[in-house]
Structure 1
Amino acid sequence: MEVLALNGQPLTLADIEAVAVSRIRVEVAPSARERVAASRALIEQVLASGQTVYGVNTGFGKLADVRVSNENLAQLQTNLVRSHAGGVGQPMSEAESRAMLLLRANVLAKGFSGTRIEVLELLVALLNTGIHPVIPEKGSVGASGDLAPLAHLALVVIGEGEAFYKSERIPGGEALRRAGLKPVQLAAKEGLALLNGTQAMVAVGGLAVARAQRLVRLADVAGAMSLDALLGTPVAFDPRIQHARPHQGQIAAAAHLTALMQGSEIRESHREHCSRVQDAYCLRCMPQVHGAVRGALAHVASVLETEAGSATDNPLIFPDGNGTGDVLSGGNFHGAPLSYALDYAAIAITDLAGITERRIDRLLNPDINEGLPAFLSPDPGLSSGFMIAQIVAAALINECQVLAHPSSTGSIPTDGGKEDHVSMGMTGALKLRQIVEHVERIVAIELMCAAQAVEFRRPLKSSPRLEAVHDAVRAVVPKLEQDRVLAGDIDALASAIRNGAFNKWSDPA
């Protein structure tokens, strides 16, 4: 896919990543242009008729009952953007800023927002020229949408605020000038159409879930290598067991684990004379746990993808095709569907971290690691080996456990009680992003330890696929011959995971 045409369609997480990370070009589909023009025409008709319509010629939120004169409507929209740009904290990443631009443009392309085509075209132009609004990550309660983050995005549309352009942080108006673009002077309804919506939580949460989906498949890879190094058996992955309890995630994880271990010399060496009847749960139950995480993330991804193609602002404009229609106020900006889903993802990926850490401990603990040296040290006692790696994993998991506490249950009334129930979905998205980063490090620790453990089984080799993974680990982290600082190794391997170095060994399911 070289160009993504926007017409308000649902966007997959792959679509979002293609624009946000791979930076493919975006364009507006012709059908979207027609719908945008029709909805704008209805707004103009409302203004000409003198009707009072929320967000078009009234104040906002608690001030919705205040009528604003026609001569002040443009200033009303500009004031809205400026007044709501109160976000705090670190800026979102460029990928997250791009995802927000894409998602907001797609909402406008649905034709329910009442904006002019120029607003949509400028959002697309920001993407294609590489202008990324500086968007502080904190300040949204997830209803009426992500107001503060989207206001910072909208500032650049009107030539204000700040943006990153060619890796330089500069005033938004200057970024537009350098790229040969002109700001938009907002007309009636357009400021509100840029601010009302769930695009910040979809952007941050969607990119985090895409990373998590790759991570759970990589956990299969790390777990299979650990199982082999610990002289475990893949019998528990037999498809007959999985089909007796036919959750699709479990079936897929078991098939992946079986394929990863196919042809292992280590496995064959102990097949006939192993005295152990069953492996520990962290090994035997990988299909059940990893599979459940897959299922949870698949559900969350479907929620996010539906939201990416949804009209989430207020009011919504419904032309009837005859020059008339309705302007209806509702609550599609409320982030409840996303908030619940993001909390679910956080819980699932935190449990993935837990089972991963248990395998790390089994690799290192001399009481249970099947004859491997204590802490995988070549000289236990004099050297501590990977002792600290399990401790670091435990510390990261504890933080994940705290972060997995649901934010969706923490509504706090805002806006003078007008917005008396909010989703806190942005908090959920930010927590999930942090959890995923921690779990990338935990899986990196398992890969690092499993690669070391396999080498203690030489001259026997693991399966061809796992030997290739071992080589990929060694391309980043050398074998531990004597004690050294491990911090850089953990971060380097986590970075390689994040950048896709191990994707080729993860199944696409």
Structure 2
Amino acid sequence: MSPRSPQLSDTPVRFDGGRLTLEDVGALSRRERPAELGTAPAFRQRIAKGAAFLDRLLAEDGVIYGVTTGYGDSVTVSIPPALIAELPHHLYTYHGIGAGRFLTPEETRAVLATRLASLSQGFSGVGVPLLTQLELLLKHDVLPLIPAEGSVGASGDLTPLSYVAAVLCGERDVWHRGERKPAAQVLKELGIAPLKLRPKEGLAIMNGTAVMTALACLAWERAEYLSRLATRLTAFNVLASAGNAHHFDETLFAAKPHAGQQRVAARLRADLVTDRPPRNEQRLQDRYSLRCAPHVIGVLEDALPYFRTLIENELNSANDNPLIDPDGERVLHGGHFYGGHIAFAMDGLKNAVANVADLLDRQLALLVDPRFNHGLPANLSASTGARAAINHGLKAAQISVSAWTAEALKQTMPASVFSRSTECHNQDKVSMGTIAARDCLRVLELTEQVAAAMLIAARQGVTLRQRLDADAKPGPAMAAMHADLEARIPLLVEDRALDGELQGLITAIRRREWRLHEA
């Protein structure tokens, strides 16, 4: 099976207020497609109309939150007209107090794309130059260094997005061409003038759900691939342990009409040869981690379409405050920065993914144990003769999988229920959506590690089973993948460190190098 190469395309992801998909964000994050700001006159005029209305309102002494007033609890503070132009720069300056790891390049590109998508809806009162500056960061891959921690997920991702605002204005640091550099230096090298923010533009950049939504887009794609990979791994484990493929019978699953669960069972039927009756020596019923695999993975499969809807609705929303209605010429004060839908999606997704990790962990525990694997050697060691006594097969791999699974399960505590009251009780109910998204990414990372170890076990277990039973043959797609694994991973006969092979497989999973159950 040939590795799956990135699908590079000259077709841009266009930001013009039209609906985007989470795959659009994913493609931008991996630099598979370029970003392009819409050029249609109607789009540009809508953006300009909102900015012009704000200018006119200011000239007429209108009161606008975050423009002529302070921020948050400081809404009662009036800003002297001579200082209004300075206020947006103070907003990103005092929010420069993030901590933790920096977002990865992929995550940062997704954040830039997600914020640009929201501002392009035409309800934020920003000027075209701000949108163009975001487009240029994506075009030239100038990536603000964004600390991952510091957002409570309501009033938006204020602190992490302050690093985006600062870079647009030529401040703080960026990652560019493999190096950390001052933003001012990179913008100068590229001939890009630092932005001078208009009265509401600091608020428009920072007061939204771009970080949590960007991370959610990437998490969804990884979870969807893991769902299909876990199904293929289950098929490998059924074959290796001489399990009963008839547990996935079509008539059986028609009796319980969860579409995702039925889809998993259909994929298992395609991978396993089920046209022969069960052999007499087989267990009538396999243990739950094999027999009920469609019921576990199916929860994730059925949740994914719903979570997609929540994430994409947020992606295609105007989610700062206040919103500017350029047609009705109104300033609409509300709370669209609240990330409750993303928080719920990420809390739910991490739960479903962690359950899949637990399923695979249980399958491996059966597969390495000679009491339950129907004739395979202990720990799937291929060592024979006198040397079998000193070789340990996948003993340590099973321990590591157990550790990663336990940590994934520990991460499933919902973040969204831990709302805090912040900012003088103005932000007294917050979503914790960004924390939920980061938790979800950690669960995905751990589950990908579990899946990578399971690929080593699949290569080992199926080969050993086929030595015992020449009729143990998978379907064509599964057979091609096993051949690919054999080419990647030498059979484990003598003990060796497996970390290099494990890391290679983790990378292959994240690149989605195997085509899995495309139908």
TM-score, L = length of structure 2: 0.93
Q: Output the amino acid matched with 2:302.
A: G
Picking from 305, 323, 330, the partner of 1:326 is 330
Please show how residues 206-221 of structure 1 align to structure 2 within 5 Å: 206-221=217-232
Q: 2:270 touches 2:475 (CA, 8 Å); kept in 1?
A: no
Equivalents in 2 of 1:501, 1:27: separation in Å? 28
Picking from 87, 99, 108, the partner of 1:97 is 108
For residue 455 of structure 2, what is the aligned residue in structure 1?
A: 447
1:248 aligns with 2:259: yes
Q: Output the amino acid matched with 1:61.
A: G
1:335 aligns with 2:339: yes
Please show how residues 12-411 of structure 1 align to structure 2 within 5 Å: 12-29=21-38, 30=40, 31-262=42-273, 271-320=278-327, 325-379=329-383, 380-411=388-419
1:472 aligns with 2:481: no
Equivalents in 2 of 1:249, 1:275: separation in Å? 28
Q: Output the amino acid matched with 2:517.
A: D
SS at structure 2 position matched to 1:417: coil
Equivalents in 1 of 2:216, 2:135: separation in Å? 21
Equivalents in 1 of 2:149, 2:102: separation in Å? 9
Q: Output the amino acid matched with 2:507.
A: S
For residue 481 of structure 1, what is the aligned residue in structure 2?
A: 493
Q: Output the amino acid matched with 1:352.
A: V
Equivalents in 1 of 2:487, 2:230: separation in Å? 19
For residue 424 of structure 1, what is the aligned residue in structure 2?
A: 432
Q: Output the amino acid matched with 1:395.
A: A
Equivalents in 2 of 1:8, 1:440: separation in Å? 35
Q: How many Å apart are 1:45 and its aligned residue? A: 1.5
Equivalents in 2 of 1:475, 1:198: separation in Å? 44
Q: Deviations over 1:292-329 (max 9, x none)?
A: 11112222222111100001000000122xxx511011
Q: Output the amino acid matched with 1:207.
A: L
TM-score, L = length of structure 1: 0.95
SS at structure 2 position matched to 1:378: coil
For residue 12 of structure 2, what is the aligned residue in structure 1?
A: 3
Equivalents in 2 of 1:398, 1:272: separation in Å? 36
Equivalents in 2 of 1:275, 1:61: separation in Å? 67
Q: Residue 48 and residue 12 in structure 1: after superposition, are their counterparts in 2 closer, same or farther (change >3 A)?
A: same
> Identical aligned pairs, as a percentage?
36
* Stretch deviating more after TM superposition (44-53 or 306-315): 44-53
For residue 5 of structure 2, what is the aligned residue in structure 1?
A: none
Q: Output the amino acid matched with 1:203.
A: A
Q: 1:7 touches 1:110 (CA, 8 Å); kept in 2?
A: yes
Q: How many Å apart are 1:184 and its aligned residue? A: 0.8
Equivalents in 2 of 1:497, 1:458: separation in Å? 25
Q: Output the amino acid matched with 2:438.
A: L
Q: 1:359 touches 1:446 (CA, 8 Å); kept in 2?
A: no
Q: Output the amino acid matched with 2:220.
A: V
Equivalents in 1 of 2:98, 2:43: separation in Å? 31
Q: 1:454 touches 1:462 (CA, 8 Å); kept in 2?
A: no
Equivalents in 1 of 2:448, 2:488: separation in Å? 15
SS at structure 2 position matched to 1:327: strand
1:435 aligns with 2:439: no
Equivalents in 2 of 1:182, 1:426: separation in Å? 31
Q: How many Å apart are 1:155 and its aligned residue? A: 0.7
* Stretch deviating more after TM superposition (19-28 or 417-426): 19-28
Equivalents in 1 of 2:295, 2:436: separation in Å? 25
Q: Deviations over 1:4-25 (max 9, x none)?
A: 1112333222111111113411
Q: Output the amino acid matched with 2:98.
A: G
Q: How many Å apart are 1:262 and its aligned residue? A: 4.1
Equivalents in 2 of 1:336, 1:383: separation in Å? 51
Q: How many Å apart are 1:239 and its aligned residue? A: 1.8
SS at structure 2 position matched to 1:64: helix
Q: 1:339 touches 1:407 (CA, 8 Å); kept in 2?
A: yes
Q: Output the amino acid matched with 2:365.
A: D
Equivalents in 2 of 1:19, 1:144: separation in Å? 26
For residue 4 of structure 2, what is the aligned residue in structure 1?
A: none
Q: Output the amino acid matched with 1:414.
A: T
Q: 1:33 touches 1:109 (CA, 8 Å); kept in 2?
A: no
Aligned residue-pair number? 500
Q: 2:157 touches 2:212 (CA, 8 Å); kept in 1?
A: yes
Unaligned runs of 5+ in 1: none
Q: 1:383 touches 1:483 (CA, 8 Å); kept in 2?
A: yes
Q: Deviations over 1:137-184 (max 9, x none)?
A: 111110111001110011110010111111111011112112221111
Q: Output the amino acid matched with 1:299.
A: Y
**What CA RMSD, in Å, does the superposition of the two structures yield over aligned residues?**
1.5
Structure 1 ranges of 4+ moved more than 4 A: none
Q: Residue 25 and residue 275 in structure 1: after superposition, are their counterparts in 2 closer, same or farther (change >3 A)?
A: closer
SS at structure 1 position matched to 2:465: coil
Please show how residues 451-466 of structure 1 align to structure 2 within 5 Å: 451-459=459-467, 460=470, 461-466=473-478
Q: Deviations over 1:259-299 (max 9, x none)?
A: 11248xxx85x844334211111111121111111112222
Equivalents in 2 of 1:258, 1:492: separation in Å? 29
Q: 2:73 touches 2:426 (CA, 8 Å); kept in 1?
A: yes
For residue 507 of structure 1, what is the aligned residue in structure 2?
A: 517
Q: Deviations over 1:350-384 (max 9, x none)?
A: 00001111111111011100100000112343211
Q: 2:382 touches 2:464 (CA, 8 Å); kept in 1?
A: no
Equivalents in 1 of 2:315, 2:451: separation in Å? 30
SS at structure 1 position matched to 2:174: strand
* Stretch deviating more after TM superposition (27-36 or 229-238): 27-36
Equivalents in 2 of 1:491, 1:251: separation in Å? 32
Equivalents in 1 of 2:282, 2:213: separation in Å? 50
SS at structure 2 position matched to 1:456: helix
